[in-house]
Amino acid sequence: MLGMQLTGTVLYAVALAAVGRFPALSLEQVPLGLVLAALGLAGLLCFYKALAIGPVAIVSPIGGAYVAVAVILVVAFLGERLNAGQTVGIAVTTLGILLTSTDLRSVAAALSRPKRGVWLALLAMVTFGGWAALMAYATRTHDGLAMILVQRMISVAFSLLIVVVLRRGSRSGIGPVAGGFVLASGLFDTLANVFYVLGVQAGFASIVATGSGVYPVIPALLGITFLRERLAPNQYLGIAVLVAGLVTLGALGS
């Protein structure tokens, strides 16, 4: 997590400077940055720990359900008013996300007797949803790209502090493969933040938050295409429902 935060922040700062878009930073951005960093790191810690103790097939879709939390918070506190087409599109897309993420039979069995991993995933869902809603607010009231940089600088400091306090270190070091994963994670995570902020600047935060939760379909399709995996029936249905929801958002969302 520290490596992801550090590489993502450095790459982001270098990219902003390279395109002449390095933002002006001020102390008034720090309070929001602190809360964003706290929510983001809490969500990551809970989600990673939940994945570590599993079951992954249950943890992943619960974490992805942050979309619903984000939409509720945005509508309630940012005053967004959705028309009928937008509401239908968001509802259908969210349903598709949940259906695509896992075998519903496994989810039902896990939720009937929730274990520690499930509770951590639920906590991650709430914190990720809160982060998405607060970042939408920060983007509307401040320079969104600046808020990403402020949050990430604080996140690096917090992550380093966590590592020091817990005295965690890599006993075997980080090899080229693991380093590549860390670099790629930092890059993609930062790009996701940037595209989210740009999306919020251009339109409804609730719709952008919904679109950001579509990622479960990507590993599902890659698994089918390259690993010859067989998905549960509801996952194939979920892909169709998800695509239908996105089409609805595109056609009726404006």
Q: Could you report the per-residue pLDDT of 133-166, keeping only the tens digit for each?
A: 999 999 999 999 999 999 999 999 998 988 888 8
Its pTM stands at 0.80
In a domain, 177, yes or no: yes
In a domain, 15, yes or no: no
- Whether pLDDT at 203 is above 90: no
State the pLDDT confidence band at 238, using cuts at 50, 70 and 90: confident
* 3-state helix vs strand vs coil in the chain, percent to 5: 80, 0, 20
In a domain, 88, yes or no: yes
Q: What is the mean pLDDT of the chain?
A: 81
Q: How far apart are CA 212 and CA 206, in angstroms?
A: 10
In a domain, 204, yes or no: yes
Domain count, the chain: 1
Per-residue pLDDT, 216:
60
In a domain, 17, yes or no: no
Per-residue pLDDT, 138:
93
In a domain, 22, yes or no: no
In a domain, 75, yes or no: yes
**In which domain, by residue range, is 178 found?**
2-10+27-252
Q: Closest Cα to residue 60, out of 109, 125, 5?
A: 125
State the pLDDT confidence band at 47, using cuts at 50, 70 and 90: confident
CA angle 243, 202, 183 (to 5 degrees): 70
In a domain, 106, yes or no: yes
